[in-house]
Amino acid sequence: MDLPEILNRLQLSGETKAPSPSLLPGPPVATVLSQIQELLQAGKSSKPKEDILQDVMRLFETADSLWLFSSCCHSEGSDLGKVYVGFTGELVQYAALPCCETDSGELCESWYSSVPGKACTVAGVLLRLVRRLGAANVVLPCGSTAAPVRSLVRKLLPPVFVFSAAHMQGLPWTDAQSELAARELLAASVQTAGCETLTELLCGKTSGDDEGILGPVLELLKPEMKKETWKLNQATKHVFSWTLIQVSRPWLCSYLDWVFPPSLLISDDYRTENKVLGVHCLHHIVLNVPAAALRQFNRAQVLYHALFNHLYTPEAHLIQAVLPCLLDLLSVLEKPPQKAGDPRKATRYDEVLSLVLTHMEMEHKIPLRRVYARNIPPFIDRLGIVIVRHLKRLERVIVGYLEVYDGPEEVARLYTLQALENTIQHAWPRMASRLDVLVKSLLRLIYDVCTDCSPTPQAVREDLLQRAAHCLILLHRCCDHKLQAVLAGIHSTCPDTRVLECIEKIQQDVRRQEANVEWSN
């Protein structure tokens, strides 16, 4: 199908609004694109928009590259760039999500039913345009190189990237076909830009003066990420967060003022899913921005207060996002506790751990208990010997958590045993006074694991028994070998053979280690 036939199918006139800059037949491409854009805007054509876009797809497939891009070499090249950018914006708008007018920022999923099909069509048109741009590395009629085409590529790729990011993440307004089309479009964009990876497309090459498109992308998102507008389009926050995650050190620091306020805004929302999304963005910023930049303008302190307030929320998946972020942020705000100048002075580490232990001690919901137990061992390792400040409450938490069965995977108990191991290793001089309580709790755990009839897999049972045995051996080492005397009376009081076999293995390990110590001496 040649150009006149396609223009006839589009019901476009062959009249030109300006003389053609080349000897190519037909109206200038800027005129054609402007007329198509008008048809899409006002619906002036009797043809459905879907059919118009199918014809536009054929236009980009078959039209001559010189006709499509030769105007870039002339004085009106900048105008052509504006026309292409406006045309691309109109395409993206065709597949845009319905506007959310409510404060919740939610729409019924039925409102999204038409979006995947439109996204597939738009992705098809943009894919052919991007590929033609990539293939247009030819000497243009004016004798110049393809530099004007590269300039046009740089103008078009930011909106194309935003469109792709909005339709490739498995969200309610996508399906398998639209996600595949968006991913294919993004891969073609990377190739057309002459990049090898998505990070290189966004951030530019490490060697050379070529800048990436991250700045223009954030500039496009900026009006939509304000306090009054960020909930109007459900895709915006996901595009922003996904884009942010693609950028790491050292590039992210240069855009800190662009990404920090929106991330804080999302995390401060009243909806839990938005809080979690915002905290993930903030955590990525903490990990990929130098500490000095975070401390500048009191950013780290503001972030600390925002995260600390989230600890009062009884939502397991939010707490799971907040605690690792807080732990990494504390290394920005505080010196390592065990190396602090005044060991008696409490720090933010103590403030966070004290609140977490308070919540753990009173918590009865199994999902939250698992989250707390999973995140306590890293805090103990970070505090080191300073964990002795919290031993009394930590002991109560460990004993309480070891008593409760929390499901076949026994997540809370396993992480609690790991927390106990870490505590013994760091605060071993203080374990002697707690030997009786901890040994009794560990033996009760061993008895429960050996005698219960729950559907716990055998591998999980073995892991529990091995960790409990290791804790007993650690206690034996740091408590002047008093464990043998405590275990000696079990054989006469416990009738269960499986428990006795487990205790016998522990005693054999203890005797073997004592023999090794005597031999080494």
pLDDT digits (tens, 9 = 90+) for 407-435: 899 999 999 999 999 999 999 888 888 88
Per-residue confidence at 41, pLDDT binned at 50, 70, 90? Answer: confident
Q: What is the DSSP letter of 491?
A: T
Whether the pLDDT of residue 75 is over 60: the answer is: no
The Cα–Cα gap between 472 and 436 comes to 11
Q: Is 176 exposed, middle or buried (0-12, 13-18, 19+ CB in 10 A)?
A: exposed
Main-chain phi, psi angles of 372, to 5 degrees? -60, -45
> What local confidence, expressed as pLDDT, does residue 479 receive?
77
Q: What is the DSSP letter of 204?
A: B
Asked whether 188 and 135 are in contact (CB, 8 A), the reply is no
Whether the pLDDT of residue 241 is over 90: the answer is: yes
Q: What is the arithmetic mean of pLDDT over 208-222?
A: 86
Residue listed under structure tokens 């071993």: 428
The Cα–Cα gap between 310 and 133 comes to 48
Tell whether pTM > 0.75: yes
**CB neighbourhood size of 245 (10 A):** 12
Percentage above 90 pLDDT, the chain: 49
Buried b (16+ CB within 10 A) or exposed e, 209-244: eeebbbbbbbebbeebbeeeebbbbbbbbbbbbebb
- Sign of torsion over alpha carbons 469, 415, 350, 332: positive
Q: Is 140 in a helix, a strand, or coil?
A: coil
The Cα–Cα gap between 267 and 283 comes to 11
- Give me 319's structure tokens: 């707490």
Span 102-160, pLDDT tens digits: 655 565 566 788 899 999 999 999 999 999 888 876 445 554 445 677 888 888 999 99
